[in-house]
Amino acid sequence: MQNFVFHNPTEIVFGKGTIAGLASRVPQDVPILLVYGRGSIQSNGVYDQVRRALGKRARVDFGGIEPNPRYETAMRAVERVREHKIGFLLSVGGGSVLDACKFIAAAARFEGQDPWDILSRHAPVHAALPIGAVLTLPATGSESNGNAVISRDSTQEKLAFSSRAVYPVFSILDPETTFSLPPKQVRNGIVDAMVHVFEQYATYPAAAPLHDRLAEGILTTLVEVGPKTLAAPQDYDARAAFMWCATLALNGLVGCGVPNDWATHEIGHDLTALYGIDHAESLAVVLPGVWKLCADQKRDKLAQYAERVFGASGVEGAIEATEQFFLSLGMPVRLADHGIDAQEAAAKITERFRARRARLGEHRRIDADAVGEILRMRA
Ligand code: NZQ
Ligand code: ZN
CATH of the domain at 103: 3.40.50.1970
> Which ligand is the nearest neighbour of the Cα of 193?
2
Percent of the chain surpassing pLDDT 70: 100
For residues 132 and 242, membership in a common domain is answered with no
Asked if residue 1 belongs to a domain, the reply is no
As residues whose CB is below 5 A from the ion ligand 2, the structure lists 192
Give nearest CA residue, ligand 1 atom 11. Answer: 94
Rounded CA separation 194/177 (Å): 22
Atom 8 of ligand 1, residue of closest alpha carbon: 67
Both 152 and 221 in a single domain?
no
Residue 105 resides in a domain: yes
Atom 42 in ligand 1: residue holding the nearest Cα: 140
- Going by the DSSP 8-state scheme, the letter that residue 66 receives in this structure is P
Query: Is residue 5 assigned to a domain?
Result: no
E strands, 212-291, are none
**Cα–ligand 1 centroid distance for 332 (angstroms):** 19
Q: Ligand 1: residues within 6 Å at CB? A: 37-40, 44, 67-68, 93-97, 99, 136-137, 139-142, 145, 147-149, 177-178, 180-181, 185, 188, 192, 250, 265, 279
Q: Which ligand is nearest to the CA of 198?
A: 2
Map residue 128 onto helix, strand or coil. coil
Whether residue 254 is found in the same domain as residue 306: yes
Task: Please report, for the domain that includes residue 196, its CATH number.
Answer: 1.20.1090.10
Separation CA 377–CA 373 (nearest Å): 6
pLDDT in tens, 340-364: 999 999 999 999 999 999 999 999 9
Domain count, the chain: 2
Domain identity same for 217 and 264: yes
Residue 228 in any domain: the answer is yes
Ligand 1, atom 18, residue with closest C-alpha: 181
Helix (H) or strand (E) holding 158: strand 157-162
| One domain, residues 151 and 57 | yes
The parent domain of residue 242 ranges over 183-376
Is residue 30 exposed (0-12), middle (13-18) or buried (19+ Cβ within 10 Å)? middle
Per DSSP, 56 falls in state T
Last residue of a domain, one of 152, 176, 200: 176
What does the pLDDT read at residue 78? 98
Residues 6+ apart with CB under 8 A from 198: 261, 264, 287
What per-residue confidence (pLDDT) applies to 83?
98
For the CA of 149, the nearest ligand = 1
Q: Residue 93: beta bridge partners?
A: 135
Residue 37 within any structural domain of the chain? yes
Q: What angle do CA 115, 117, 120 make, to 5 degrees?
A: 130
Final residue before a domain boundary, out of 123, 141, 176: 176
In the chain, pLDDT over 90 holds for what percent of residues?
A: 100
Which ligand places an atom closest to the C-alpha of 73? 1
φ/ψ region of 370 (left if φ > 0, alpha if ψ in -120 to 50, else beta) reads: alpha
Give strand pairing partners of 90: 34, 132
SS3 90: strand
275, amino acid identity? Y
Judgement on whether residues 315 and 344 belong to the same structural domain of the protein:
yes
Put the strands of the sheet holding 59-62 in their side by side order.
Answer: 11-14, 170-173, 131-135, 88-93, 32-36, 59-62
In this structure, the strands spanning 11-14 and 59-62 are unpaired
Q: Band the pLDDT of 379: cuts 50, 70, 90.
A: very high
Q: pLDDT digit string (tens) for 265-296?
A: 999 999 999 999 999 999 999 999 999 999 99
Residues 226, 325 within the same domain: yes
Do the domain assignments include residue 323? yes
The candidate with the shortest Cα–Cα distance to 245, out of 146, 321, 147, 141, is: 141
Q: Which atom of ligand 1 is nearest to the CA of 46?
A: 19
Same domain membership, residue 330 and residue 238: yes
Residues 39 and 165 in one domain: yes
Q: Are 229 and 238 in contact (CB under 8 A)?
A: yes
- Same domain, residue pair 83 and 112: yes
Last residue of a domain, one of 176, 196, 221: 176
Would residue 3 count as lying in a domain? no
**For residue 207, what pLDDT band results from cuts at 50, 70 and 90?**
very high
Instruction: Verify that 218 and 365 share a domain, yes or no.
Output: yes
Asked if 189 contacts 139 with a C-beta cutoff of 8 angstroms, the reply is yes
From the CA of 66, how far away is ligand 1's center (Å)? Answer: 9
Tell me what pLDDT residue 122 has. Answer: 94
- Residue 268, domain member (yes or no): yes
Phi, psi torsion values for 186, nearest 5 degrees = -65, -50
- The 3-state DSSP class for residue 269 equals helix
Counting from 1 in the atom list of ligand 1, the atom nearest the Cα of 40 is 3
Pocket probe mutation, ligand 1, options 36, 96, 98, max atoms within 8 Å of Cβ: 96
What mean pLDDT, rounded, does the chain reach? 98
User: Which positions ≥6 away from 139 have C-beta within 8 Å?
Assistant: 94, 95, 185, 188, 189, 192, 193, 246, 280
| Residue positions counted in the chain | 379
Residues 6+ apart with CB under 8 A from 319: 288, 291, 292, 302
Specify whether the CB–CB gap between 262 and 254 falls below 8 A.
no
Residues 207 and 309 in one domain: yes
pLDDT number for residue 273: 95
pLDDT tens column, 220-249: 999 999 999 999 999 999 999 999 999 999
CA 236 – CA 241 distance, rounded (Å): 9
